[in-house]
Amino acid sequence: MRPAEALDAAAALLGGAARVLFITGAGISADSGLPTYRGIGGLYHQRLTAEGLRIEDALSGAMMARRPDIAWKYIAELEANCRGAQPNAAHRLIAALEEEKPLVCVLTQNIDGLHRAAGSRNLIELHGTVHRLRCTECPHTRSVPDYAGLQIPPACPLCGGLLRPDVVLFGEELPARALARLEAVLAQGVDLVVSIGTTSVFPYIAGPVRWAAACGVPTIEINPGDTEVSAIVDLRLRLPAAAALPELWRRMHPAEPAED
């Protein structure tokens, strides 16, 4: 199928769907200037930390418990690479679709907060967000715009315990509440699943796409490269997210200009 035909077909599916699940990964934020995590040119592509650790070990729950200074050092590096980034057209148009349809739910792996900043409300941040801190010793939580001026690692102002970002580190379990919300969305039914900017290497990210394919629910993938679900989706758009979403919007709203 030619690119223009694939865009037409995807726009028809998206325009006709009342209930849509978007699944997003680092690729959707790459167009906001954020580096991807592991891909070519990614922040941690083929390199160890200064301590000689794999980044998966440095950014693990075990390291946060044993050497919070090391875990925090690389969490702060991730946050610094997110700082100042703004939602791009893909984030904004997904949020705009939420205003038009009975259900638009975004399941994201990203911890950068850009979907929320764009206006998405029905949002499942499966890996948490760097903008929320929680104490490891007491119930205290705190929201921060960034880590500028933050003592690393920070102490809880109430009990003096360690504050940590409310994100899922390597080796930690996914949040039960987020998983329950995803299960509820799937149980209620969706008309379309759209995977954007994720390699889908984690089973819980590929799972909804595989579920949809098995149930006969249409699926679309927006990603320039091949992924774990490329072979099973109904339509593939080999485009960056910020290029694909405006094209889909134009086709769904021919009388309106689409932002780029």
Continuous segment of H or E residues that includes residue 187? helix 176-188
What pLDDT does 41 receive? Answer: 42
Structural domain boundaries enclosing 97: 3-33+87-127+174-252
Q: Give yes or no for a contact between 243 and 224, defined as CB atoms under 8 angstroms apart.
A: no
pTM score, whole prediction? 0.91
pLDDT at residue number 44: 54
Same domain for 213 and 245?
Answer: yes
Comparing CA positions, the residue from 135, 139, 189, 170 lying closest to residue 59 is 170
218: left (phi over 0), alpha (psi -120 to 50) or beta: beta
Looking at the fold, whether 10 and 43 belong to one and the same domain comes out as: no
In a domain? residue 229 = yes
Q: Are residues 194 and 123 in the same domain?
A: yes
Residues 91, 115, 127, 131: which is the catalytic one? 127
Q: How many CA atoms lie within 13 A of 21 on its CB side?
A: 26
Q: Identify whether residues 204 and 227 lie together within a single domain.
A: yes
> Same domain for 69 and 184?
no
**111-148 burial, b for 16+ CB within 10 Å, e for fewer?**
bbbbbbbbebebbbbbbbbbbbbbbeeeeeeeebeebe
* Within-domain flag for 221: yes
Which CATH number is 151's domain given? 3.30.1600.10
- N-to-C CA span, the chain: 24
d(CA 78, CA 70): 13
Pair (80, 43) in one structural domain? yes
Same domain as 182, residue 65 = no
| Residue 27: Cβ-neighbour burial (10 angstroms; 0-12, 13-18, 19+) | buried
Question: Is residue 43 a part of any domain in this protein?
Answer: yes
Phi-psi region of 233 (alpha: psi -120 to 50; beta: other; left: phi over 0): beta
56 and 156 assigned to the same domain: yes
In a domain, 260, yes or no: no
Same domain, 143 and 72: yes
Which SS3 state, helix, strand or coil, does residue 114 take?
helix
Domain count, the chain: 2
Count the Cβ atoms, other than its own, within 10 Å of residue 52.
8
Beta strand spans in 216-258 (E): 219-222, 235-237
Domain boundary among 167, 195, 218: 167
Closest to 27 (Cα-Cα) out of 187, 216, 226: 226
Same domain, 76 and 193: no
DSSP class of 231: T
Kindly report the CA angle at 122 between 119 and 126, in degrees rounded to 5? Answer: 105
Residue 239 corresponds to which tokens in the numbers above? 């485009």
Query: Is 127 a known active-site residue?
Result: yes
pLDDT, residue 180, reads 96
| Structural domain includes residue 257 | no
Classify residue 203: in a domain, yes or no: yes
* pLDDT recorded at residue 240: 95
Let me know if residue 259 belongs to a domain. Answer: no
Place of tokens 């030619």: 2
- Write the single-letter amino acid at 242: A
Looking up residue 231, the CATH number of its domain turns out to be 3.40.50.1220
Torsion sign over Cα 226, 228, 231, 236: negative
Per-residue pLDDT tens digits of the chain, which is 260 residues long: 888 999 999 999 999 999 999 999 999 999 898 876 544 344 555 578 888 898 889 999 999 999 999 999 999 988 888 888 999 999 999 999 999 999 999 999 999 999 999 999 999 999 999 999 999 999 999 999 999 989 999 999 999 999 999 999 999 999 999 999 999 999 999 999 999 999 999 999 999 999 999 999 999 999 999 999 999 999 999 999 999 999 999 999 987 765 65
Residues 213 and 242 both lie in one domain: yes
